[in-house]
Amino acid sequence: MEKGKGNTLDGPAIQRIRNDFPIFKKVINGQSLVYFDNGATVQKPLQVIQAIENYYYQSNANIHRGVHTLSREATELYETARNTVAAHFNVANPQQCVFTSGTTEGINLIAGGLSKAILRSGDEIILTAYEHHSNILPWQLHAQERGLKLKVIPLKSDQSLDIAAAMTLFTDRTKVLAVAHVSNTLGLITDLQALFKIAQQYNVITVVDGAQSSPHMPVNLPELDPDFFVCSAHKMYGPTGIGLLYMKEKWLTELPLFKTGGGTIKTVTFEHTEYAEGALRFEPGTPHISGAVGFAAAIDYMNSIDMSAIYKHESELVRYAQTRLLELPEVEVYGQSEHKAGVISFNVKGAHPFDVGTLLDKYGIAVRTGHHCTQPLMQLLGVQGTVRASFAIYNTLEEVEYFIEKLKRVITLVS
Amino acid sequence: MEKGKGNTLDGPAIQRIRNDFPIFKKVINGQSLVYFDNGATVQKPLQVIQAIENYYYQSNANIHRGVHTLSREATELYETARNTVAAHFNVANPQQCVFTSGTTEGINLIAGGLSKAILRSGDEIILTAYEHHSNILPWQLHAQERGLKLKVIPLKSDQSLDIAAAMTLFTDRTKVLAVAHVSNTLGLITDLQALFKIAQQYNVITVVDGAQSSPHMPVNLPELDPDFFVCSAHKMYGPTGIGLLYMKEKWLTELPLFKTGGGTIKTVTFEHTEYAEGALRFEPGTPHISGAVGFAAAIDYMNSIDMSAIYKHESELVRYAQTRLLELPEVEVYGQSEHKAGVISFNVKGAHPFDVGTLLDKYGIAVRTGHHCTQPLMQLLGVQGTVRASFAIYNTLEEVEYFIEKLKRVITLVS
Amino acid sequence: MQIREIEEEIISEFELFGDDWEQKYEHLIDLGKSLPLIEPGYKTDVNLIKGCQSRVWMHSDFKEGKMIFTADSDAIITKGMVALLVRVLSHQEPVAIVNARLEFIDQIGLKEHLSPTRANGLVSMINRMKQEALQHLSK
Amino acid sequence: MQIREIEEEIISEFELFGDDWEQKYEHLIDLGKSLPLIEPGYKTDVNLIKGCQSRVWMHSDFKEGKMIFTADSDAIITKGMVALLVRVLSHQEPVAIVNARLEFIDQIGLKEHLSPTRANGLVSMINRMKQEALQHLSK
Ligand SMILES: Cc1ncc(COP(=O)(O)O)c(C=O)c1O
Ligand SMILES: Cc1ncc(COP(=O)(O)O)c(C=O)c1O
């Protein structure tokens, strides 16, 4: 049992980071907060909260088309935020970065748009067995309406994706491959390269659900080269209600509109509308301007630490937690690969995850319990739910230590 | 020319209100800010900004299904926000209040949902000639796909709605009446009672775009009794990225889902999904939790002043501005009814609204210029655009006075 | 015993643990373990009250003017809570059940389990118990 | 005159007004009013550069190695800006136009009109002028 501090950030660095997060002053049940529910949403640094505040203090106005100073300022903040997001993912043309309200919204826009004009009855959509409901339900909804078929890439016995089996799923009717970059329940990193290689052969549109990769590791979109990529700011140290829908340039004109409204147009009559070009086409209504500003601040914050450093630190936390959990005979860990980002899922044998979560909370430790919006995966694992600990840059090996110690206590209590 | 101070809030009251809005410390082009672009978005009081801040400082977590303390707190804040919104509009069952990202999103959910199962080729949708693009384009999008017909209630010569003409539009194929409660360009209050009376006879689904009524006047939804009502928090002193979609109870089960994803379900398999009941059904993905909290704070703020007082104050500002504008022979005012809420639209004859807006901005006065996302109305008025001054509770007669004085200067400059 | 009396009994039981939540939860878990099993035949879908996470099954009988409840849960802490509710409400008259305010839950410091946003189905269980009592009220 | 010289001329012109933006805008508006009218035949859709609000029409000719621009706008302030741009860029060689940085706009305090988020189509106009010059660069 080696702590492997080499890869985690050192104490003073972590302490500086923790000081940026006001919520860690909070006391939960008489204990200081150990927040291991980062897969659900992460805490926000002062830098992000203040960016939102400053927006409302200084520059709040509706964007676009406004000739007054405030409106110009707000528009510039909003478009600068788009540039920041684009640069973060190495996207050359910021117009390819559409602001949405989050990952789920992004997938709805893609599935809804594609199903309007590109997907035809009998076409197939390939997903993985560990998809989040948000990357299942929108496809299912349109599948029912349009007569599409969902196919599922199975998992191997170690819960990693069965790439060999995936190969056999693709046919000439396969039109879309929609996969999580990182499984939110298991933490496993999907081998996108291998999947995309097959997808390319069959000329399949690729959709990446980046909700759980974007917070934990560097993501270079041109290198990855999916048709679509979506993520949520609230999982990336940013505010709620805002996310990214990235699309390849051609989709800016070719993806049919699923939603529409003010701000997306060139000219409108009751009979006909000529739509604007670029990202605006997909951003009907007043955007979440303060959200975009906060999102950009969150990205700046992550980059001030460096995505590779974040990945290393969190991977070490996962590795250490996994090692310690595996020492406990009462515990079962799901998805024991080394190729993991930020998340670990387990159960105490014979105990309901709800009990484990409730008791850990009493010790000030926030974990998520339940199906994690991945019920098909739960059915596959044959469990009602799991306990999930997920890490962020402010978590420490000491917190993991404390968690293991208290988990042992919980095991005694529930046994 | 009488100032009619009787109906506006008195000086000290206004000053107290203005002190709540940090942005008024801002200096624009060496002038203090006169913000008359409230129809686009209003400024936010400290009470709202701090509610958002407190959420991130104290309670940030993902909601629903979480067993830990923070998640419980966040869930309670979110559901309490729903209760606050419901109570504000006098809605007994808070589940009827669905959080959306704004008015535009709400209309997309309604139009998209209805067009899935309820609207059939040949069915008619009735709108008014002054609808906002956000209440035209979603209907148009589905009209094209499903073969629906849009019909438009014309305006009388004074730009008020021609109710008599509306009567003749309804037929047995009419399925939806979708109207702005208050025109965002003209400020005119739609006579919903008269329209709903006809709608009822034809068993027509009624949709009210409340984007411009909700900030300016009391709205009692059970009394009004539409099938659907939508509005945006950012126009109601609340944050960006959040809004309300109210629906009659029966629609909670009968409105087909337009979007879907995590958080909306009871059980999921790849083959079939059983959806949850109530508002959650329509709120896929992580909601804009901080937005909901800010929205509730904004509603509390408005109620601390009182919606009737807000209506009186702003109506007096409109009345006074209109009186003064009409004294200027170079100015044309559109929609000169007395039955107006918060908004006044005009042009300087022979001058482009862009010029007027640009020069007013130089004096620190923020007005909106252009088509206000109502291009069909502009075509009807035969103008490229208008200058729109729209008021909020923090505006004063003195500001209107200053605006008129500077407008005179602008008229000289551009003539 | 009357509802209020049983509540007082439970309150005194929990007072022994003072502020020690570990002991309190140990006791709650013991109560859960000792809850008489519901007849397997009653663990049906109709009797299932779904929380988002833990599930509760509840069956009621009406005998000699009193409601008899049996119940179960798949989570042990929920089961402990269920045991407390059955202990308080079973063998009581419908009118007493309908009017019960169950304040003891707050007083023994377990209120959090009854928040309407709680994922354990307990609030729905209490509502179901009251509804079933209500059906026998008019009889 | 070279582009830079004309720019200097304009800068001195505007320096007279100091910080008085009213005078500056009066001058800009006067410039707009005195802009030679574009031939009506050139006010076509192809020559229309759409801003969100004000519209700009722009036509170019290439004569004796130089670009000749004529232009118009429906907003008088935009027209003033258009007049300045035509004054600086018309009758210049393509290479000079392509390389022009047009910093005078900043220096006379009208930079805000060139922000890419501006609703007046001026940025698109400059891009169009440069593009058309570019086409004659290789010839
Ligand atoms: C009447 C009306 N409808 C709809 C909208 C669209 O609202 P939002 O942009 O908040 O979606 C607006 C505001 O711009 C409006 O004034
Ligand atoms: C893998 C994955 N996909 C999609 C989502 C949905 O994201 P959001 O709720 O922000 O829309 C999540 C987060 O809950 C996730 O982890």
Look at residue B121 in the predicted model and tell me its pLDDT.
97
Domain count, chain C: 1
User: Which residue, chain included where needed, has tokens 């406990």?
Assistant: A328
Complex confidence, ipTM: 0.94
Out of B304, B337, B367, pick the residue that ends a domain. Answer: B304
In a domain, A415, yes or no: no
Pocket residue to mutate for ligand 1, from B132, B189, B214, B372, most atoms within 8 A of Cβ: B132
Look at residue C49 in the predicted model and tell me its pLDDT.
82
Tokens of D77: 């302030």
List the single residue in D50, D52, D112 with the smallest CB-CB distance to A65.
D52
Based on the fold, state whether residues B286 and B309 are members of the same structural domain.
no
The count of other CB atoms within 10 Å of the CB of residue D115 is: 16
Based on the fold, state whether residues A165 and A235 are members of the same structural domain.
yes
Q: Are the CB atoms for B150 and B168 separated by under 8 Å?
A: no
Measured between beta carbons, which residues in chain B are less than 8 angstroms from residue C114? none
Out of B304, B319, B347, pick the residue that ends a domain. Answer: B304
The count of other CB atoms within 10 Å of the CB of residue B78 is: 25
Q: Considering chain A, what is the average pLDDT of its residues?
A: 95
C-alpha–C-alpha distance, residues A197 and A240, integer Å: 35
Ligand 1 pocket residues where CB is under 6 Å: A 262, 285-286; B 102-104, 132, 134-135, 180, 184, 209, 211-212, 232, 373
pLDDT digits (tens, 9 = 90+) for D11-39: 999 999 988 999 999 999 999 998 887 88
In a domain, A372, yes or no: yes
pLDDT digits (tens, 9 = 90+) for B187-240: 999 999 999 999 999 999 999 999 999 999 999 999 999 999 999 999 999 999
Report residue D117's pLDDT band, with 50, 70 and 90 as the boundaries: low
- Per-residue pLDDT for B351 more than 80? yes
Look at residue D47 in the predicted model and tell me its pLDDT.
87
Atom of ligand 1 nearest to the CA of A263: 9
* Domain around A35: 11-44+305-410
Look at residue D40 in the predicted model and tell me its pLDDT.
84
Look at residue C125 in the predicted model and tell me its pLDDT.
86
A-C interface (Cβ pairs under 8 Å ≥ 3): yes
Based on the fold, state whether residues A261 and A119 are members of the same structural domain.
yes
Based on the fold, state whether residues B278 and B335 are members of the same structural domain.
no
Query: Are the Cβ atoms of A362 and C22 closer than 8 angstroms?
Result: yes
Which residue from A342, A235, A233, A308 is spatially nearest to A9, judged by alpha carbons? A308
Q: What is the pTM of this model?
A: 0.95
Pairing of strands B273-275, B365-366: unpaired
Look at residue B415 in the predicted model and tell me its pLDDT.
87
Measured between beta carbons, which residues in chain C are less than 8 angstroms from residue B76? 115, 117
pLDDT digits (tens, 9 = 90+) for B331-343: 999 998 878 899 9
| A303 close contact with C: CB closer than 8 A | no
Q: How far is CA B33 from the centre of its chain?
A: 23
Look at residue B3 in the predicted model and tell me its pLDDT.
44
Tokens of B279: 């508002």
- Per-residue pLDDT for D49 more than 70? yes
Report residue B2's pLDDT band, with 50, 70 and 90 as the boundaries: very low
CA angle B323, B324, B330 (to 5 degrees): 110
pLDDT digits (tens, 9 = 90+) for B144-157: 999 999 999 999 99
Give the per-residue SS3 of chain D.
Answer: CCHHHHHHHHHHHHHCCCCCHHHHHHHHHHHHHHCCCCCHHHCCCCCEEECCCCEEEEEEEEECCEEEEEEEECCHHHHHHHHHHHHHHCCECHHHHHHCCCCHHHHCCCHHHHCCCCCCCHHHHHHHHHHHHHHCCCC
| B64 close contact with C: CB closer than 8 A | yes
* Domain around C68: 3-137
pLDDT digits (tens, 9 = 90+) for A334-391: 998 878 899 999 999 999 999 999 999 999 999 999 999 999 999 999 998 999 999 9
CA distances from C29 to A359, A404, B64 (A): 11, 21, 24
Based on the fold, state whether residues A75 and A213 are members of the same structural domain.
yes
pLDDT digits (tens, 9 = 90+) for A257-308: 999 999 888 889 999 999 988 999 999 999 999 999 999 999 999 999 999 9
Q: Are the CB atoms for D95 and D89 separated by under 8 Å?
A: no
| A259 close contact with D: CB closer than 8 A | no
- Per-residue pLDDT for A2 more than 50? no
Which ligand is located closest to the Cα atom of residue A137?
2
For residue B65, the 8-state DSSP code is: S
- Per-residue pLDDT for A116 more than 60? yes
φ/ψ of residue D59, rounded to 5: -130, 140
For residue B16, with 0-12 CB atoms within 10 Å meaning exposed, 13-18 middle and 19 or more buried, which class applies?
Answer: exposed
Based on the fold, state whether residues B295 and B336 are members of the same structural domain.
no
Look at residue C22 in the predicted model and tell me its pLDDT.
93
pLDDT digits (tens, 9 = 90+) for A153-209: 999 998 999 999 999 999 999 999 999 999 999 999 999 999 999 999 999 999 999
Atom of ligand 2 nearest to the CA of A180: 1
pLDDT digits (tens, 9 = 90+) for B53-102: 999 999 999 987 788 999 999 999 999 999 999 999 999 999 999 999 99
Question: For chain C, which chains pass the contact test of at least 3 CB pairs under 8 Å?
Answer: A, B
Higher pLDDT, B103 or A69: B103
Based on the fold, state whether residues B160 and B213 are members of the same structural domain.
yes
Q: Catalytic: which of D52, D119, D134, D137?
A: D52
Atom of ligand 1 nearest to the CA of B235: 10
Look at residue A175 in the predicted model and tell me its pLDDT.
98
CA distances from B119 to A410, B125, B148, B149, B170 (A): 55, 9, 8, 10, 16
- pLDDT (average), residues A216-233: 98
Look at residue B1 in the predicted model and tell me its pLDDT.
34
Measured between beta carbons, which residues in chain C are less than 8 angstroms from residue A354? 53-54, 75, 77-78, 119-120
Which CATH number characterizes residue A238's domain? 3.40.640.10
A136 contacts: CB under 8 Å, gap ≥ 6: A127, A150, A376, B268, B270
SS3 of residue B406 by DSSP: helix
Report residue A3's pLDDT band, with 50, 70 and 90 as the boundaries: very low
Based on the fold, state whether residues A357 and A389 are members of the same structural domain.
yes
Q: How far is A298 from chain D (nearest CA, A)?
A: 23
Which CATH number characterizes residue C111's domain? 3.90.1010.10
- Per-residue pLDDT for B4 more than 50? no
> What burial letters (b/e) apply to B303-339, b meaning 16+ CB within 10 Å?
eebebebbbbbbbbbbbbbbbbbeebebbbbbbbeee
Domain count, chain B: 2
Based on the fold, state whether residues A316 and A287 are members of the same structural domain.
no
- Per-residue pLDDT for A4 more than 50? no
Based on the fold, state whether residues B282 and B336 are members of the same structural domain.
no
In a domain, A210, yes or no: yes
For residue A156, the 8-state DSSP code is: -
- Per-residue pLDDT for B299 more than 70? yes
Identify residue A18 by its one-letter amino acid code: R
Out of A283, A304, A325, pick the residue that ends a domain. Answer: A304
HSE-CB of A141 using CA atoms within 13 angstroms: 31
- pLDDT (average), residues B373-378: 95
C-alpha–C-alpha distance, residues B52 and B57, integer Å: 9
Based on the fold, state whether residues A239 and A156 are members of the same structural domain.
yes
For residue B344, with 0-12 CB atoms within 10 Å meaning exposed, 13-18 middle and 19 or more buried, which class applies?
Answer: buried
In a domain, B189, yes or no: yes
Based on the fold, state whether residues B184 and B209 are members of the same structural domain.
yes
pLDDT digits (tens, 9 = 90+) for D59-73: 999 999 999 999 999
The fraction of chain B above a pLDDT of 70, given in percent, is: 99
A-D interface (Cβ pairs under 8 Å ≥ 3): yes
In a domain, A3, yes or no: no
Q: How far is B354 from chain D (nearest CA, A)?
A: 7
